[in-house]
Structure 1
Amino acid sequence: MDDSREGQPEQAAPTVRVTSRPKSIYHLSGGGDSVTPRFTVALLWFGVFSYMTMEMMVAPIVPIVQHELGMSPAVAAWMLTGLMVVGAVSLPLSTRYADIADKKNVFFIILGVSGVGAVLAAVAPSASLLIAGNMLQGVGIAVVPIAIGIARDSQPLARAKFATTAFVVAGGAGSAVAYVAVGPIVKHLHYSYIYWIPTAVILAVIVLGAKGLPACPPVRTGRVDWLGAALLAVALTSFLLGLTLASTEGWGSAIVLGLLILTVALATVFVVVERRVDSPLVDLRGIAEREVAGVMGLSLLRAACAYTMYLVLPTVALLPLATGYGMGGDASTAGLVLLPYALVILVAGPTASRLEPVLGRRGVMVLSGVLMTLGAVPLLFIGSAPWTPYLTAAILGAGIAMSLTQGLNTIVQVVPNDRVASTSGTTYVLQSVGGVTGGQIAAGILAVGMVAGGAPTWGGFLGNVVLLLALGLAAIGLSFTLKTKRAAASTGRDTDPVSAPA
């Protein structure tokens, strides 16, 4: 993983870590009151929950904001596109900085920036300012991998894995709250409250965490690779923009092809640069390690599966019953059809952690792939059973949540502490890439054939079912890059680098 660690005594790192800051982890810096590990995880959980709730509430209000501010559909789409692009571009830099600075401070900065973006969006009198606020919110996606890094620094391994699972659950809880609450909020208050309410929670986390969160100074010094950050930022921006514009300009258009060619060129230069610098933005050698590479590939597949579901299920919910495969619902139906997905995450994430001691990392990941594959099957019977989209959402939610939890837990176990935040962040970058790619492929399949009125044909719908099946099967195959329970135990790599009281 990290060449600089080779040859060191196995217990050297714990000794340095514990003696260098024995009280900052478990005691308030301003006094002698104890900070319990549970309080640390709880604060981090609420930080993740508040951001994820705010992010998931954006999509349902796009049509409402579009009408109120007089935006065109293309401009309104940037409420989501801008958030995703900025999140993917800023995430590697944010998480790398967290690895070489105090993670606590970086966590608060990221939360603060996303809160400022939310306030700007809430008070924005124009489309441009509202989109700018949403783009600033995108920076907040880094709170998840940084929270994982703080948990790994301040908790024993078993509790750090529990915290990682809790953060996955926070994402599911945030989604569930968003799907249920956004309708009543918009109906009885104003769309701006979807920004104000989570921002109030963010502010409370910052105030309480200023004293309550443990300081997490870096294990080793380093620097930010600004050249690599610039190359990766432009490459990700060009790639995501190319995929986004493909739906309107066409895959063969000059601008789309030019952006994709630019992406390949910049990515090539980025790899060359990262392999030569002493403190790379992305640890390519570490990511190339078999299990970590497998987790990264699974991040792409998992996100492509999720975004295909995000597109297909609401589309089915809104299609008329006369098509034979529509639910004849309204906007509320389109949101509720995804609710089982969010609710199942609350159970599936912890289940993955409980199953790992029994099945091993590979076994849990294979199971998640099987669930992702089976999740597409009920849609084949939608004509005779309109409730099948809800079942599909639940099964896919279980598979996706188990895959995410096991992937992050694998990183916590096998990646050196000083790279946990940035490596976890890389998985979220790849999720953005996989999500946009999967969404565009799914949209392209639906657009191949349209019936009168612009509804997708059964063939387009069936094509997306096949896409979900293919993604699930690919996830099963890639799961075999992870180690079995016996192999992981024999290597002795899953050690606990932090000595902490219970």
Structure 2
Amino acid sequence: MPAVPAVTAGASAPSRTNFLVAVLALAGIVVALMQTLVIPLIPELPKLLHASASDATWAITATLLAGAVATPVVGRLGDMYGKRRMLLISLGLLVIGSTVAALSDSLTPMVVGRALQGLAAGVIPLGISIMRDELPGEKLGSAVALMSASLGVGGALGLPAAAILAEQFDWHMLFWVSAVLGVVAAALVVTLVPESAVRTPARFDFVGAAGLSTGLICLLLAISKGASWGWGSASTIGLFGVAILVLLVWGWWELRTTEPLVDLRTTVRRQVLLTNIASAVFGFAMFAMSLVLPQLLQLPTSTGYGLGQSMLAVGLVMGPSGLVMMATAPLSARISKARGPKVTLMLGAVVVALGYSMSIVMMAQIWQLVLVSAVIGAGIGLAYGAMPALIMGAVPVSETAAANSLNTLMRSIGTSVSSAVAGVVLAQMTISLGTFTAPAQNGFRVVMGIGAGAAITALIIAAFLPGQRPVAAPVAPKAAPVTSSVS
């Protein structure tokens, strides 16, 4: 078929630009929904899937592991073969996974479906990278901030929607809706998102991909299953040991191969390294709220501090934080434009620390938890908008997708560690009410205090970032035209 020229930033009409941003943000939100999709089902999963409670948790763990593997690999493939192409493949995997899960009534197909959903985790960094290639400089900051925040927005808004569907319909409907949304997002991407001409021709690093995948699976499996297996068990310690060994060998390989999966020389640059570390710490801080507030809301009033609310009420309390993140994204971009993304990241850390500090003494009323979640959401929106700007300001255009994917992976590792730490704290600090055992109120306070401490740690790390302006508008690449076969 005849070739069509790639759409460059300077040639994009305002209306097309707005549609592109809206479509990519929608795709990010749809993918983020899968993380909260099964939360209303967690207590019922063993019965629904005819499995033990420990086995049923694989429906959660499979998504985490698949996302960790897919994110850096898909980012590199996007730089090599086309970001839009990999975006569509990711959305296709989401649709297939949702359909498999919707048709399942036992554990094995559910785990397969959830793993396929997890393979779509690279959509958000791919979307950010497409924006860098396609948008004019004046639109880039706010668009990237919105796309980055879509991870939190989708998670927060998905909770009430999932609760309503779970209460009003058969649980399979959750996955059918996810499949339909994936199809809609893919159709819009095909229609409105051009393929970028920015490519990095290279040989794919299969050894590096296998090494990183193995190391991440061992690490995250040990973190996510350590509490149930025992932190001192042979399985947990062995997985941690294998993860360390494999990742060290992987790093040695990546430094010596000519076309690595991850350019470690770029990742150790001060701005990239510190941003990634801050992202992991911020991911830790963000997830603490998601672990504490739902339990506080749902625990019975007989505990003396539980609010005895339904899952739908939990969703309605958490939902405003997603709206606040969305509203904060343009503010994040304006602050970064005026003061630099370093200042925005630091401000976001301060706001998150403030929100967690408030929560330690404000957990007795529903309105207090709504306020706390909104404040923390505002801080996350500010910080998440700044992180891609910091990354893109320090890496070449040819490595945009891979660098953003690694940054997203660091956030995911932070949330996984947060879940493990909070689980240990809440399991150790409990109260007994007859045959009923629940986390103690002071346990929740300790977790929230840890969240505040993590935010302050991110603030300190961000303070050592170089003071730079946001990434400039991308220059139209000198590349061969993209053919309509990938349009």
Q: TM-score, normalised by structure 1?
A: 0.87
* Contact 2:349–2:383 (CA under 8 A) maintained in structure 1: yes
Structure 1 residue 496 corresponds to structure 2 residue 473: yes
Equivalences for residues 78-157 of structure 1 within 5 A: 78-157=58-137
* Contact 1:26–1:37 (CA under 8 A) maintained in structure 2: no
Name the residue aligned to 1:390: 370
Name the residue aligned to 1:462: 445
The letter for the 2-side match of 1:495 is A
Name the residue aligned to 1:225: 205
Matches of 2:159 and 2:191 in 1, distance apart?
33
Deviations 1:213-260 (A, max 9, x none): 212244331121111111111111001111122111221111111111
Name the residue aligned to 2:484: none
Matches of 1:440 and 1:228 in 2, distance apart?
27
Name the residue aligned to 2:380: 400
Equivalences for residues 257-268 of structure 1 within 5 A: 257-268=237-248
* Number of residue pairs aligned between Structure 1 and Structure 2: 469
Q: Structure 1 residues 224 and 251, CA, compared in 2 at 3 Å: closer, same or farther?
A: same
Equivalences for residues 90-489 of structure 1 within 5 A: 90-382=70-362, 385=365, 387-452=367-432, 453-484=436-467, 488=468
Matches of 2:316 and 2:137 in 1, distance apart?
37
Match of 1:72 among 52, 70, 90: 52
Name the residue aligned to 1:3: none
Name the residue aligned to 2:5: 23
**Deviation above 4 Å: which 4+ runs of structure 1?**
383-386
Pairwise CA distance, 1:95: 0.7
Q: Secondary structure at the match of 1:376?
A: helix
Pairwise CA distance, 1:82: 0.6
The letter for the 1-side match of 2:426 is L
Matches of 2:453 and 2:29 in 1, distance apart?
32
Pairwise CA distance, 1:38: 2.5
Deviations 1:65-84 (A, max 9, x none): 43333232212211111101
Pairwise CA distance, 1:34: 11
Pairwise CA distance, 1:385: 4.8
Pairwise CA distance, 1:406: 0.4
* Contact 1:26–1:34 (CA under 8 A) maintained in structure 2: no
Share of identical aligned residues, percent? 26
Q: Which moved more, 1:378-387 or 1:366-375?
A: 378-387
Deviations 1:88-124 (A, max 9, x none): 0121111101011121211111110111111111111
* Contact 1:120–1:129 (CA under 8 A) maintained in structure 2: yes
Pairwise CA distance, 1:172: 4.3
What are the ranges of 5 or more consecutive residues in structure 2 without an aligned counterpart? 478-487
What are the ranges of 5 or more consecutive residues in structure 1 without an aligned counterpart? 1-20, 28-32
* Contact 1:274–1:281 (CA under 8 A) maintained in structure 2: yes
Matches of 1:176 and 1:494 in 2, distance apart?
29
* Contact 2:342–2:390 (CA under 8 A) maintained in structure 1: no
Q: Secondary structure at the match of 2:416?
A: helix
Q: Structure 1 residues 411 and 157, CA, compared in 2 at 3 Å: closer, same or farther?
A: farther
Q: Secondary structure at the match of 2:119?
A: helix
Matches of 2:14 and 2:187 in 1, distance apart?
17
Q: Structure 1 residues 206 and 130, CA, compared in 2 at 3 Å: closer, same or farther?
A: same
Give RMSD over aligned pairs: 2.4
Q: Which moved more, 1:116-125 or 1:51-60?
A: 51-60
Pairwise CA distance, 1:499: 4.2
